[in-house]
Amino acid sequence: MGILADGKPRGLRDIVKASGLSEDVVSANLYRCWKGGFLLRTKKPIYEQERVFRGRAGWSRNTRPYHLYVLRPKGIEYREVDGREFVAFKKEFLDARGGGAKSKAKAILDFIRENCDKALFSKEIAGSLEDENVRISDVMANIRRFEGKGLVYVRGYKLDDRQTPFKDGYLITWIDPNKPREQAIEEAIRRTDARLLQENAESPMMGRVNRVRDIVIEHSKLGRLVGFIYIKNKLQCNENEVEYAINRALQLYSDLKMVKLFNAYRYYYHDSLSGVNLEAAIKMKENYIRITKGRANRVGHNWEAVVEWFIDKFTVGARFWTQVHRSGGMDPRRITLHLIKGVRGRRNVAEVDRVWEVTPGIFVPPTTYVLSCKWGLIRKDDVDDFLEVLRWSKEFGVNTPDGRQIKQGVVGVFAGGAFDPKENVQLKDGSKISLASYASRMNIQLLKSADFNSKLRERGCLNLTVQKICKIAKDEDEIREILDKVWKEPSRSDMLLASIAEKNKELYDFERMLEEKKGNIRF
């Protein structure tokens, strides 16, 4: 009371510092003096941000509520000091934690209990209790406490080691404590399932997620695994949208499983498919992969090695980018780009086959080349997709007054077996140009197998083509070995290919055997 005698408003910490008493003692006596009519207290708490040093944990930022106190003149119930309202003790002025108004925690819990037959998103709960000053941060802070007490069931996207919220926050429902625990949890899960299904009509993405689940369950009931391409054809959307839907389905439904065959091909099944049936399904699918993907996969990787070899051979002063990848089998020259905007379903990253820089001279800025390879026929959609990746990548895109563009000094290179000669690109003025001309306008260079074959003919390899090399070589290392020897001794190219073909005869026989069995195996 002596400290407040000068009439200046002070808070708890100010009085603790001035009196030398403990914070608990000062707090208890300030409340007694306010309730006894000796003090006036601010009508509403004051909030301020503060930083607290937590030692090795670093700094934390908190919002601290506190009140100010002044001496109460006799007969005065209300006073205004420095623009703040000070009031005498009344129950209506008590804070929620002081036994006054209904607390936010109780309001949230009562709302969930009253809607025990529903599953609600955290944003919905905050919106419904907006009149009680409940914010989204208040909801989840209290929900986690209720979850620890076993009063609510909280659902989100399930990752390996954590959960992440849905678009509208976590999905929350009541767990009835008066029912057997297992039954109450099963009912809570069914309510969240029903709510997620209801979201399908409003969210195309959630519709795809649940369609993925249906397809996987259907195949598991028939004793089969289901692959990415089948799901893509069923959903009729682009590759990246399917990828995203499958990943979300695996996070959302823990009963969906993935198995990786040959450490490369992903297949999916429901956990109802287990034991002997699962083993049989895996063996059948491995045979299917050997038949339909083995040779195509080998030739496709060999094509990337051919393009890389010619770039190394004919690009003077090229400095290739490298990255360390989590997967030890991934080529360090394959580069992962970071996207600032999703491109055809890709959300955060995209991959390109090679990136290299060429510096013509000390006074000339370097040119950066970005390579994408694809074996087979190339169409406009492939070129557009590559262009969008470059534009929206953090590494090679830039914002301009005309929109997002590729940075100056960056050139895209697209290497394909052949480009569709029948495909023309229609311009805004109605005219049509070839795919090669369109790519040139977009500053993308097109490389074809014919371009590399012409270099081989100039060297003296008249009967040799890169297509033949890709089909004969067993892997990328052998591609480089063949091209090195052929370039050094072009006259011996026929003999070299014959010896390689003889060495890999078992591989070709195995692939031929699988092709012959293809018609006798049902999948």
At 354-394, the pLDDT tens digits run 899 988 777 788 899 999 988 878 888 888 899 999 999 99
pLDDT tens per residue, range 208-221: 888 899 999 999 99
Residue 60 lies in a domain: yes
Q: Are residues 316 and 421 in the same domain?
A: yes
pLDDT tens per residue, range 302-360: 888 899 899 888 888 888 899 887 655 677 888 999 999 888 878 788 989 889 998 87
Parts of the chain with a pLDDT under 50: 99, 514, 517-523
| CA proximity to 466, closest of 480, 477, 479, 453 | 453
pLDDT tens per residue, range 270-305: 999 988 999 999 888 877 776 555 677 778 888 888
Return the CATH number at 285: 1.10.10
Q: Are residues 496 and 397 in the same domain?
A: yes
Residue 326 lies in a domain: yes
Return the CATH number at 154: 1.10.10.10
Q: Are residues 370 and 461 in the same domain?
A: yes
Q: Are residues 223 and 167 in the same domain?
A: no
Q: Are residues 193 and 220 in the same domain?
A: no
Residue 424 lies in a domain: yes
Identify the domain boundary among 164, 199, 234: 199
- Token pair of 77 as six digits: 């119930």
Residue 191 lies in a domain: yes
Q: Are residues 181 and 75 in the same domain?
A: no
Residue 519 lies in a domain: no
Contact 154, 134 (CB under 8 A): no
User: Please, what is the angle between helix 476-488 and helix 449-459, to 10°?
Assistant: 30
Q: Are residues 140 and 276 in the same domain?
A: no
Q: DSSP H helical segments within 129-180, as ranges?
A: 136-148
The length of the chain is 523
Q: Are residues 58 and 173 in the same domain?
A: no
Residue 262 lies in a domain: yes
Q: Are residues 129 and 264 in the same domain?
A: no
pLDDT value of residue 348: 86
**For 265, phi and psi rounded to 5 degrees?**
-105, 125
Q: Are residues 265 and 324 in the same domain?
A: no
Q: Are residues 415 and 464 in the same domain?
A: yes
Q: Which residues in 163-202 are b (16+ Cβ under 10 Å) and which e?
A: eebbeebbbbbbbeeeeeeeebeebbeebbbebbeebeee
Q: Are residues 443 and 358 in the same domain?
A: yes
Residue 268 lies in a domain: yes
* Distance between CA atoms of residues 165 and 175, nearest Å: 20
Identify the domain boundary among 63, 98, 133: 98
Contact 111, 47 (CB under 8 A): no
Share of the chain above pLDDT 70, in %: 91
Residue 126's domain comprises: 104-199
Number of structural domains in the chain: 4
The reported pTM is 0.47
Residue 139 lies in a domain: yes
Identify the domain boundary among 241, 264, 292: 292
